[in-house]
Structure 1
Amino acid sequence: MSATAQAPAADRPAASTALANLRILDLTRVRAGPTCCRIFADFGADVIKVEAPDGVDPNESMSGARDGYDMLNLHRNKRSLSLNLKRKEGLELFLKLVETADVVVENYRPDVKARLGIDYPALKARNPRIILASISGFGQDGPYARRAGFDQIAQGMGGLMWVTGLPGQGPVRAGAAVADSTAGLYAATGILVALRERDVSGEGQWVQTSLLQAQIALCDFQAARYLVDGVVPEQSGNDHPYSTPMGVIATADGFINLAVGGDGQWRDLCRAIQRSDLAEHPDYATQPQRLAHRAQVWALLAPIFAADTSANWLQRLEEVGVPAGPIYRMDEVFEDPQVKHLGLARSVTHPRLGEVTLVGQPIGLSRTPPAVVAPLSDKGADGDAILAEIGLDAGRIAALRAEGIL
């Protein structure tokens, strides 16, 4: 925390002690930016969600209902300050908060920061230690910089939609906002790197990522196949691009994922299905041979797996060490005993909704684990306390509220 920073309010429960010395100013909305800030909030940072007063932001509805599942899940553990940055008084209050902060996170279109007067040079002038994290659709400069970006657009431009789906089906989007979420994770990684570097240099810096960059990076080995080998990956449905048999197979009562990743596992599978003759068959004994005869491999396995239930197959495969797993709908996910053991479902008490269960952080720390302890505040609910921490008295706060600044 910068030298002039104030400690979080005493009555605010700490989500964790891991990052309790940090203050994050969260200007983000929709998904990528809130995903980034949620990490810091769950690890105990004082995350202040800075929001425009009602009627100021014409796109406020993009984030959904305030008491809706998405807002509750993305913005827990944060304090809320309503502030009109388009007014000179509101901008000055924000810059005064910047003096007390460690990080500002925003996901405006790149030109908006300069127009509002909160670009990196402006923030640095008020606090040389400040770290600005900017998440955009396509990057902070370049020919597409000012385009509006959404997850599905990045999925298409980043190559994901042409490696997803069945061969010949046409482009298919992933069933989750993978570009948004990944951009948020990369932004958080960049912030943590900048914070560590600041311990040495004493200076902040500008962290940048985009949905497009994150989506290309997420494609990883598929992108590397093209860059290194010149191979343009195609859709392969539920089959792994080069490991066979690794994909979905029907059973007597549903489907399971079967994942044979090496020749030893192939021999183990042959033992489990009581077809030892296939283990050293010249068409199937090695991975390249199985890939060359992929259709035949699946055709051989299909009637065998269709003769027994998913549960029985999973048990038999586990006994011989062949990786396999059930394919759940979301209700089944949270009933799985391992998921319950990992504690991914976290409950918090909401003043209107009562107990609400949200998705916890998928990270464990032995001494300072994350926690979900507070629901999303009503807009501006923490404003009086936050502004008092930077020296405003009750009269001044009331006057700013009457003027429409708060």
Structure 2
Amino acid sequence: MASGVPGHRVPRALDGVRVLDMSGPSGQYCGKMFADLGAEVILVEPVGGSSVRRDGPFIDNQPHPERSIPFAYFNSGKRSISIDLDLAEGQEIFRKLVSETDVLIESEKPGVMARRGLDYVSLTAISPRLVMASITPFGQDGPYSQYESEDIVALALGGMLYLGGYPETSPIAAHGNQAYLAAAQFAAVAAMMGVWAAEAEGLETQGRHIDVSIQECVVMGMENAIQFYDLEGTVRRREAGQQRWAGAGVFDCADGQVYLMAGGIVPNQFRVANVRWLMEEGVSEAEQMLAKKWDNPDYQASDEAKQIFAELFAPFARARTKEYLYSEGQSRRIPICPINTPRDLMENRQLAYRNYFVSVAHSHTGKPLTVPGAPYVLGSTPWGISRPSPRLGEHTSEILSVLGYDIAAQAALLKSGVTN
């Protein structure tokens, strides 16, 4: 990333930080966040490659370990070495890597790393300041610690799945491994705090073992569901955009849907402004919603109020575009927003202005991929994707050379479970 001054490189926020990422689906985004801020991230893959390489969609709809689009996104900026950590040779290489590492991200089942002699206690004997983030479904201990799990299981046991979907259907999960992403973000924040503490405390500091439970991360994301039960004795249920109060819910419009929050516990001026908007647009019957009883959230929660509002607002919204409803509503300080589709996001003026989406070449095909950028801007130490995602074991020889293995030693390792 050039600065405009010949021979000068713009500093990155995490320059000098070294990370080993062997985490797979649940932690790969954690490693990506470090890489995108300038850390040197080495992806340690099993000999057969990360399981994410088998996740679609694929470039040109051709399933192949080097054509996975999810892998390309989540592992950009990293280098790859492929080793068998169940072999003594692979464990030796791993220990040498750890000796020069600040952060290790792993997601093995509790006990697996200990059986390999690569647990936190063993590794801090090599690198005392090591920050090790272990991301597992239920944490390192407890009655569930050895249970198998996937993203949807964590969503279910964390309570989030109960709120997803429609009242008349079974629960529906949001797309995109949201439990894994939550865990990866919590792990990244905690690991960065560990790195910061290690730098602040100096050479005598002890490292940190960060125990991340994906289930607990999901529970944290429940936000006010616990408070509703604690304060009101109310169990939150699947609403799927239905009006919880008159004026709060999802409504169809001419080219999609909008979400309106102008009723219930929100400030009453939102409701009044919304009613006056309808009146000005010719919905004369809307005046009835200025009656005193409409000030009461309990009445707004009644079936009568919700039916009256829907009969007036729904036809109004269906005759207008979401852009019009959003712009006009915002000008009146009414909480209303479009429910954007992926295409809407790609065409969104605000995201385009801030250059949110970026292009990165695919390492196998060379084709450019448009991917999400960072949700923040750092002026002096900018975010950026430094390299495409690696091919399986692409940097094995390079990394082994740095570790001191000569050509003959590398050849012997390649026969015993190290690939390039």
In 1: Cα distance, 2:315 partner to 2:123 partner: 65
Q: Which amino acid aligns with 1:306?
A: R
SS in 2 for 1:104: strand
> Does 344-353 or 150-159 show the bigger shift?
344-353
Tell me, yes or no, if the aligned pair for 2:43 and 2:81 is still in contact at 8 Å: yes
Residue pairs, 1:72-111, within 5 angstroms: 72-111=72-111
| Root mean square deviation, CA, Å | 2.4
> Does 341-350 or 38-47 show the bigger shift?
341-350
Q: Which amino acid aligns with 1:191?
A: A
Picking from 20, 42, 45, the partner of 1:48 is 42
In 2: Cα distance, 1:160 partner to 1:254 partner: 26
SS in 2 for 1:223: helix
SS in 1 for 2:358: strand
Tell me, yes or no, if the aligned pair for 2:55 and 2:68 is still in contact at 8 Å: no
Tell me, yes or no, if the aligned pair for 1:346 and 1:357 is still in contact at 8 Å: yes
In 1: Cα distance, 2:162 partner to 2:328 partner: 35
Aligned to 1:6: none
Compute the displacement of 1:359 (Å). Answer: 1.8
Aligned to 1:320: 332
| Residue ranges of structure 1 left out of the alignment (5+ in a row) | 1-12
Post-superposition Cα deviations, 1:343-371, rounded to whole Å, max 9, x if no partner, equal: 23111123423222222222222221211
Kindly tell me: are residues 99 and 132 of structure 1, through their superposed partners in 2, closer, same or farther at Cα, counting changes over 3 Å?
A: same
Aligned to 1:340: 352
In 2: Cα distance, 1:157 partner to 1:301 partner: 38
TM-score scaled by structure 1?
0.89
In 1: Cα distance, 2:149 partner to 2:189 partner: 21
User: Does structure 1 residue 21 correspond to structure 2 residue 31?
Assistant: no
Residue pairs, 1:268-307, within 5 angstroms: 268-274=273-279, 277-278=287-288, 280-292=290-302, 293-307=305-319
User: Does structure 1 residue 389 correspond to structure 2 residue 402?
Assistant: yes
Tell me, yes or no, if the aligned pair for 2:105 and 2:133 is still in contact at 8 Å: yes
Compute the displacement of 1:60 (Å). Answer: 7.3
Compute the displacement of 1:63 (Å). Answer: 4.9
In 2: Cα distance, 1:196 partner to 1:294 partner: 52
Post-superposition Cα deviations, 1:241-278, rounded to whole Å, max 9, x if no partner, equal: 6x652321122443222232421111211121116734
Compute the displacement of 1:396 (Å). Answer: 1.8
Q: Which amino acid aligns with 1:215?
A: V
User: Does structure 1 residue 266 correspond to structure 2 residue 271?
Assistant: yes
Compute the displacement of 1:193 (Å). Answer: 1.6
Q: Which amino acid aligns with 1:178?
A: Q
In 2: Cα distance, 1:297 partner to 1:14 partner: 59
Q: Which amino acid aligns with 2:21?
A: D
SS in 2 for 1:105: strand
In 1: Cα distance, 2:177 partner to 2:48 partner: 27
TM-score scaled by structure 2?
0.86
User: Does structure 1 residue 33 correspond to structure 2 residue 46?
Assistant: no
Kindly tell me: are residues 220 and 310 of structure 1, through their superposed partners in 2, closer, same or farther at Cα, counting changes over 3 Å?
A: closer
Tell me, yes or no, if the aligned pair for 2:54 and 2:68 is still in contact at 8 Å: no
Residue pairs, 1:354-365, within 5 angstroms: 354-365=367-378
Q: Which amino acid aligns with 1:212?
A: Q
Q: Which amino acid aligns with 1:267?
A: V
Aligned to 2:198: 198
In 1: Cα distance, 2:328 partner to 2:45 partner: 54
May I ask how many residue pairs the two structures share in their alignment?
Answer: 390
In 2: Cα distance, 1:320 partner to 1:87 partner: 66
Kindly tell me: are residues 85 and 257 of structure 1, through their superposed partners in 2, closer, same or farther at Cα, counting changes over 3 Å?
A: same
| Residue ranges of structure 2 left out of the alignment (5+ in a row) | 1-7, 57-64
Kindly tell me: are residues 124 and 297 of structure 1, through their superposed partners in 2, closer, same or farther at Cα, counting changes over 3 Å?
A: same
In 2: Cα distance, 1:279 partner to 1:232 partner: 29
Tell me, yes or no, if the aligned pair for 1:98 and 1:126 is still in contact at 8 Å: yes
Kindly tell me: are residues 142 and 98 of structure 1, through their superposed partners in 2, closer, same or farther at Cα, counting changes over 3 Å?
A: same
In 1: Cα distance, 2:392 partner to 2:11 partner: 23
Q: Which amino acid aligns with 2:278?
A: I
Tell me, yes or no, if the aligned pair for 1:244 and 1:291 is still in contact at 8 Å: yes
In 2: Cα distance, 1:304 partner to 1:116 partner: 65
Compute the displacement of 1:18 (Å). Answer: 0.6
Q: Which amino acid aligns with 1:290?
A: Q
Compute the displacement of 1:14 (Å). Answer: 8.5
In 2: Cα distance, 1:189 partner to 1:228 partner: 30
> Does 211-220 or 353-362 show the bigger shift?
353-362
User: Does structure 1 residue 308 correspond to structure 2 residue 320?
Assistant: yes
